[in-house]
Amino acid sequence: MNQRLISLLGLIVFIACGYLCSVNRAKIRWSTVLWGIGLQLVLGFLILKTTVGLTLFQFLGDRVRQFLDFSDAGAKFVFGDGFEEHFLAFKILPTIIFFSAFISLLYHYQILPRVVGVLGWVMMRTMKTSGAESLSCASVCPTKILAAQLRDSAPEVFIVRIITHPNTPTTLGKIW
C-alpha cells in the first residue's frame, strides 16, 4: 500500500479514536480540527518540501543536539570516560537533569512564559479557541521544540484536545 495512503488512513483512525473517546461529540468544532490538520500539513510541507524550511529545522535540530551534548561533557567530567557504558544512569539521567535545569532557568527569567503566551495568543486568534485551551496547548510546544521533537507540535495537541474535550461555556476564556 502507498505510504501516503497509510498516513491518510492513520490520520482518519486517529480522528475516529478521538471522536469515539470524546466526552461531548455534539460540541466538537470541526473547523478547529481542520485548522489543526491544515497547520500540520503546512508545517510538514515547509519542513519536507522547501529548502528554506529543511535548512532552518536542520539548523535548529543541530543547535539543540549541540546544546544537549553539553550534558555529555558534564557527565564525562563527573563520572569519567566510561560513563556511556551505563546508558540509563550516566547518559539519559544527566541529560534530563540538565534539560530540566535549563527549562527552570527559562521560567525563572520569564522567557518561557512569554513565549507560551505569544504562541497561545496566536493560536487563539487563528484557530478561534479559548484562552485556556490555547495556553495549555502552547505550553507543550516550546518544550518540544527545545527537545528537538518538532513533529509533535501544538496543532496536533489541539486536534486531540478539541475532539476529546470540546469547548463548553465554562472553558471559554482569554489569555490576556
DSSP element (H, E) containing 28: none
Contact 15, 159 (CB under 8 A): yes
pLDDT tens readout for residues 86-116: 777 777 787 788 888 888 898 899 998 888 8
| Joined grid coordinates for residue 21 | 473517546
| Helices 93-108 and 111-127, packing angle to 10 deg | 80
Rounded Cα distance, 34 and 18, in Å? 14
Q: Which amino acid is located at 171 in the chain?
A: T
The residue among 113 and 168 whose pLDDT is bigger is 113
SS3 139: coil
* Residue 10 host element (H or E): helix 3-20
59 phi and psi, to 5 degrees?
Answer: -60, -50
Can you give the residue ranges of every domain in the chain? Answer: 10-164
In this structure, of 28-32, 113-117, 143-147, the range with the lowest mean pLDDT score is 143-147
Q: Taking the CA atoms of the chain, what radius of gyration do you get in angstroms?
A: 19
The cell numbers describing 23, all together, are 466526552
Q: How far is CA 98 from the centre of its chain?
A: 20
Average pLDDT over residues 3-22: 87
